[in-house]
Chain A
């Protein structure tokens, strides 16, 4: 399983953009990069995932480095509801396709 490195915590102000980085230098060519977030006492919530190209959805954007050794989750306008722990997880296609969670980044959003 590819290892990931994320900051333990980050802070943002409401309505400002947030860039959450993730290093995954041991990622293999068939690993998709998934992002999930978890609010206290809740199950994780899928945010976005991608392989090589940048991806956008209604929740966020995912920017993937050309060498795929890092990626950045972008929340375009943070709200108080975005305060959560964010996990970046490489997922190998085929086999178990299991999620291996690290400790993630705890995002605090200030009003």
Chain B
């Protein structure tokens, strides 16, 4: 099955700085890579996704990059704000199931 590794497990950034979370996957047939944000006491919510035929995607302060050759994808958050504090999960999908990374707890310091 698919194995997704996510680093770092915790990340503390100063407000206004950038945050980067990296993930690797094992199954070269995976073709969809979403990122979910989970706020305290809530379920995960999709914030951005990328498909295997695209190398980069951006949505306001959030961007995701994909390197299919290296089986590596990353989430970039620029100009971080206090409301960006949450747990972020990467995932990889092949056919009908998602495999999730272990999560990154992001704390934005005021």
Partners in one complex: no
**Residues in chain A within 8 A of chain B (CB atoms):** none
